[in-house]
């Protein structure tokens, strides 16, 4: 490694860590405890309005033909605007819409980091099943368009294991769009044994929505309410609707409704430690929840039944995924994987998630196994597991020789990423 390569070493690296997911993109400096920004993984795309071209939103492209305006981050997306469509740039754990993704990266450098991209090495996390094409494209984008001095790509399961102090672990990651079990051995993903299912936070939101609508509960999100009256429990809500601009798109309304459902599921929904049984669930105290329109009531056993679908599915339940994944690994690593099962991802924050996974795995693991669950208690550590692992990795001295430097990239191109980033 040349002398210039050592410039990234030491405390003043200023490396940035990006952790893209379906719910949000986490960004921040290596060595920090938490990300600096947690930006929703969607972009609002609306017609450009020549009058309202304030500096805060990303302006339309420089090409004269483009008439779209892009809105990034919560404060801009959550405003009711006519004809603004909400689009995600992620699909199946990978970046799909690169144009929208670039808008978000532009926003990150302009508003979050507030510094030029050429000064900061960049560490990106990626899903365990990311394809070569995507990896090369990301490398090319960061090193050519953003001119970063150095770049590196790591599997998010490896980072989540590092964040919990493990180089070998079975990482059970339950996020917005899917739950996956990824075995990591000595810092490398055993890709033949990666198992994933489409049951995640969004699926749970859908279950909550069906349930609440079947109870005829009015789901008007906060943006549609001007004022509300205090009412008794289970009384019909009395509220004044807000006057909204016309032509609000369906995608934006769905997005806002999803926010309400996510709040409900994090406040009320819980996972039972044993498979769902009405009698057991009925003995646990009910949880009180108030909707934005003022309607409020207690939720009893049904709040456990909603979460049950993440576990009782005979093929896709979280316990089944984890044991299937271990079963596909070599016999000699199975014990060490069962000995450190790392639970991560925003959806794993459901109360009781880790306990239930522990119980399901104990029933499925061979009797001579020592099962150990590692689930960080703090919500931050679990939500941002992969990001924190990236923050640790990016600031370790021995890692500094592993970066793909811009110099190496110029010499041997984007194929470097397959060689240097496992």
Q: Do 124 and 404 meet the contact criterion of CB atoms below 8 Å apart?
A: no
Instruction: Measure Cα distances from 246 to 82, 250, 262, 389 in Å.
Output: 6, 12, 26, 45
330, 336, 340, 346 alpha-carbon torsion, rounded to 10°: -20
C-alpha 257/C-alpha 165 separation (Å) is 38
Helix axes 318-327, 331-338, angle to 10 degrees: 140
Instruction: Tokens 């692992």: give the residue.
Output: 389
CA angle 90, 319, 41 (to 5 degrees): 15
Looking at domain 16-52+67-162+384-420, its CATH superfamily turns out to be ATPase, nucleotide binding domain (3.30.420.40)
Q: How far apart are CA 381 and CA 329, in angstroms?
A: 27
Q: What is the CATH number of domain 201-309?
A: 3.90.640.10
Query: 416 is written with which tokens?
Result: 């470097």
Q: Which residues of 226-253 are buried (b: 16+ CB within 10 A; e: fewer)?
A: eebeebeeeeebebeeeeeeeebbeebb
Q: What integer pLDDT is reported at residue 13 of this predicted model?
A: 64
Report yes or no: 7 and 371 within 8 Å, Cβ to Cβ: no
> pLDDT of the chain along its 422 residues, tens only?
343 444 544 556 689 999 999 999 999 999 999 999 999 999 999 998 755 544 445 554 444 446 899 999 999 999 999 999 999 999 999 999 999 999 999 999 999 999 999 999 999 999 999 999 999 999 999 999 999 999 999 999 999 999 999 999 999 999 999 999 999 999 999 999 999 999 999 999 999 999 999 999 999 999 999 999 999 999 999 999 999 999 999 999 999 999 999 999 999 999 999 999 999 999 999 999 999 999 999 999 999 999 999 998 888 999 999 999 999 999 999 999 999 999 999 999 999 999 999 999 999 999 989 999 999 988 999 999 999 999 999 999 899 999 999 999 999 999 999 999 98
Any idea what DSSP says for residue 364?
Answer: H
**Claim: this prediction has a pTM higher than 0.95:** no
In this prediction, residue 60 carries a pLDDT of 46
For residue 111, CA distances in Å to 39, 298, 421 come to 11, 42, 29
CATH 3.30.420.40 intervals, the chain: 16-52+67-162+384-420
DSSP string, 7-43: GG-STT---EEEEE-SSEEEEEETT-SS-SEEEESEE
Give span(s): CATH 3.90.640.10, the chain.
Answer: 201-309
């Amino acid at each position: 490694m040349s002398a210039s390569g050592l410039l990234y070493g030491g405390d003043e690296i200023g490396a940035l860590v990006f952790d893209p997911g379906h719910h949000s993109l986490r960004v921040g400096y290596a060595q920090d405890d938490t990300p600096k920004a947690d930006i929703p993984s969607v972009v609002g795309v609306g017609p450009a309005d020549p009058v309202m071209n304030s500096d805060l939103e990303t302006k339309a492209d420089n090409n004269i033909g483009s008439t779209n305006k892009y809105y990034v981050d919560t404060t801009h997306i959550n405003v009711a605007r006519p004809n603004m469509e909400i689009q995600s740039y992620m699909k199946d754990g990978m970046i799909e819409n690169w144009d929208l993704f670039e808008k978000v990266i532009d926003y990150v450098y302009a508003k979050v980091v507030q510094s030029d991209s050429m000064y900061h090495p960049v560490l990106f996390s990626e899903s365990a099943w990311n394809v070569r094409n995507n990896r090369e494209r990301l490398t090319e984008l960061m090193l050519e368009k953003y001119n970063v001095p150095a770049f590196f790509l790591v599997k998010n399961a490896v980072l989540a294991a590092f964040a919990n102090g493990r180089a070998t672990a079975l990482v059970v990651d339950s996020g917005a769009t899917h739950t996956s079990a990824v075995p990591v051995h000595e810092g490398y993903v055993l890709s033949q044994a990666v198992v994933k299912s489409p049951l995640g936070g969004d699926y749970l939101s859908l279950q909550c929505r069906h349930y609440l609508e079947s109870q005829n509960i009015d789901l008007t999100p906060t943006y549609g309410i001007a004022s509300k009256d205090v009412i008794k429990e289970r009384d019909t809500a009395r509220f004044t609707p807000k006057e909204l601009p016309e032509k609000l798109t369906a995608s934006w309304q769905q997005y806002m409704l999803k926010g309400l459902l996510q709040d409900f599921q994090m406040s009320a929904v819980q996972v039972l430690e044993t498979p769902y049984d009405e009698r057991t669930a009925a003995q646990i105290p009910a949880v009180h929840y108030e909707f934005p329109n003022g309607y409020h009531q207690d939720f009893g056993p049904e709040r456990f039944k909603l979460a049950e679908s993440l576990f009782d599915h005979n093929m896709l339940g979280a316990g089944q995924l984890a044991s299937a994944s271990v079963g596909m690994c070599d016999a000699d690593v199975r014990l060490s994987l069962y000995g450190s099962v790392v639970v991560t991802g925003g959806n794993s924050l459901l109360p009781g998630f880790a306990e239930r996974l522990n119980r399901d795995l104990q029933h499925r693991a061979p009797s001579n196994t020592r099962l150990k669950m590692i689930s960080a208690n703090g919500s931050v550590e679990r939500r941002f597991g992969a990001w924190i692992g990236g923050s640790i990795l990016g600031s370790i001295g021995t890692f500094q020789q592993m970066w793909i430097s811009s110099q190496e990239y110029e010499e041997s191109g984007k194929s470097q990423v397959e060689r240097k980033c496992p």
